[in-house]
């Protein structure tokens, strides 16, 4: 017996009809989700303006003769130079989605010690898009200087990745709220390393930062900034998911600066 084709055709044309109220709420939810995703994408693609010097006065006050300019060498970067001769070159990789000027305060503070700091501007503010950016900067500025690679959060992880293949060009590495990726080890190198951990960091899990020491040279130093949080390494405001500080941002910066200076003082000057 053949099927009733008229009945099958009728069934195939049947559509689920939702009540008007359900259609309204479903459309509203879809619109809200779409708007959120668009806003999220825009925040990543359309970055805030890069303004040099607007919030860069270090905790110890403005240094004489220090200059901070936006330059280009293999991509844009902030170049912070001391008034006199620079003996050390610090290349700083910013945290993920953090504008590079957030770390200008540190470069200006270190300039009084004869340190030139260069902070690359990465596409989308993600250091993962240009791990080897330090190559061109070392070539341009590194001759005759002690070269240090540094980074915060994701930038620190990418700095460690860069260091893995360039230990012969580097005199040290500084990680701030950061650690090497799980598949990366610098254990068999003699690279001097300073790892800074914010006590109340809830973005870079303190347990992961401490575990990262197992993939760093035995000589690596861990310094805990008591009372600080992840976002206090830069000047970009509070960060979602971070802990609550028990010290002021200015006090945290003073401790961070002191730890970095103490570390740099242990390194030989070429």
Query: What is the residue-level pLDDT of the chain in tens, covering all 270 positions?
Result: 445 545 545 454 556 676 777 665 666 566 555 544 444 444 555 678 899 988 888 887 767 789 999 999 889 999 999 999 999 999 999 999 999 999 999 999 999 999 999 999 999 999 999 999 999 999 999 999 999 999 999 999 999 999 999 999 999 999 999 999 999 999 999 999 999 999 999 999 999 999 999 999 999 999 999 999 999 999 999 999 999 999 999 999 999 999 999 999 999 877
pLDDT at residue number 8: 46
Residue 114 CA to residue 116 CA, distance in Å, equals 7
pLDDT at residue number 184: 97
pLDDT at residue number 19: 76
Could you give the count of Cα atoms lying within 13 Å of 17 in the half-sphere of its Cβ? 2
Model pTM score: 0.84
pLDDT at residue number 29: 66
Helices (H) and strands (E) in the chain, counts: 7, 8
CB-neighbour burial class of residue 3 (10 A; exposed 0-12, middle 13-18, buried 19+)? exposed
pLDDT at residue number 180: 98
pLDDT at residue number 64: 79
Residue 151 CA to residue 158 CA, distance in Å, equals 8
pLDDT at residue number 17: 72
Alpha carbon separation from 263 to 125, 171, 256, 267 (Å, rounded): 27, 11, 11, 7
């Amino acid at each position: 017996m053949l099927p009733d084709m008229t009945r099958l055709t009728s069934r195939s044309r049947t559509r689920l009809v939702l009540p008007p109220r359900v259609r309204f709420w479903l459309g509203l939810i879809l619109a809200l989700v779409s708007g959120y995703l668009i806003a999220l994408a825009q925040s990543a693609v359309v970055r805030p303006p890069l303004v040099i010097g607007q919030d860069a006065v270090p905790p110890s006050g403005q240094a004489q003769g220090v200059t901070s300019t936006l330059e280009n060498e293999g991509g844009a970067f902030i170049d912070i130079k001391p008034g006199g001769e620079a003996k050390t070159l610090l290349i700083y990789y910013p945290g993920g989605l953090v504008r590079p000027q957030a770390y200008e305060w540190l470069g200006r503070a270190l300039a009084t010690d004869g340190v030139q700091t260069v902070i690359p501007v990465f596409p989308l503010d993600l250091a993962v898009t240009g791990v080897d950016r330090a190559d061109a900067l070392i070539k341009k500025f590194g001759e005759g200087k002690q070269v240090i690679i540094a980074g915060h959060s994701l930038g620190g992880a990418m700095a460690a990745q860069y260091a893995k293949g360039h230990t012969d060009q580097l005199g040290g590495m500084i990680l701030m709220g950061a650690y090497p990726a799980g598949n990366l080890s610098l254990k068999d190198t003699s690279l001097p390393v300073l790892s800074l951990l914010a006590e109340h960091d809830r973005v870079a899990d303190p347990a992961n930062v401490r575990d990262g020491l197992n993939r760093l040279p035995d000589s690596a130093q861990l310094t805990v900034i008591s009372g600080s949080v992840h976002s206090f390494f830069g000047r970009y405001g509070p960060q979602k998911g971070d802990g609550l500080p028990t010290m002021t941002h200015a006090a945290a910066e003073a401790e961070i600066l002191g730890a970095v200076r103490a570390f740099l003082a242990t390194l030989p000057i070429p």
